[in-house]
Amino acid sequence: MLDRYLPADKNKKILNIMEFKEHKAIYLQIAESLCERILSDKLNAEDRIPSVREMGATLGVNPNTVARTYDHLQQNEIIYNKRGIGYFVAPGARQEIIKTLKNRFLKEELPVFFKRMDMLSISLNEIENYYKQESK
Identify the structural domains of the chain with CATH numbers, from first to last: 2-93 (1.10.10.10), 94-134 (1.10.287)
Q: Residue 66 carries which side chain, given as an amino acid letter?
A: V
Q: What pLDDT does residue 9 have?
A: 42
pLDDT band of residue 12 (cuts 50, 70, 90) is very low
Residue 116 confidence (pLDDT) above 80: yes
Q: Which residues contact 12 (CB under 8 A, 6 or more apart)?
A: 3, 6, 42
Q: What pLDDT does residue 29 have?
A: 95
Other residues' Cβ atoms within 10 Å of the Cβ of residue 108: 9
> What is the pTM (predicted TM-score) of this model?
0.76
Q: Which of 60, 72, 10 is nearest to 37 (CA)?
A: 10
The pLDDT of 5-29, averaged and rounded, is 65
3-class SS at 79? strand
3-class SS at 87? strand
Over residues 78-100, the pLDDT tens digits come to 999 999 999 999 999 999 999 99
Q: Which of 82, 69, 83 is nearest to 28 (CA)?
A: 69
The pLDDT of 95-118, averaged and rounded, is 96
Q: What pLDDT does residue 19 have?
A: 76
The pLDDT of 54-67, averaged and rounded, is 94
Residue 67 confidence (pLDDT) above 90: yes
CB 54 within 8 A of CB 60: no
Residue 49 confidence (pLDDT) above 80: yes
Q: Residue 128 carries which side chain, given as an amino acid letter?
A: E
Angle at alpha carbon of residue 111, lines to 110 and 116, rounded to 5°: 95
What's the rounded Cα separation, in Å, for the pair 94 and 108?
A: 21
pLDDT band of residue 5 (cuts 50, 70, 90) is very low
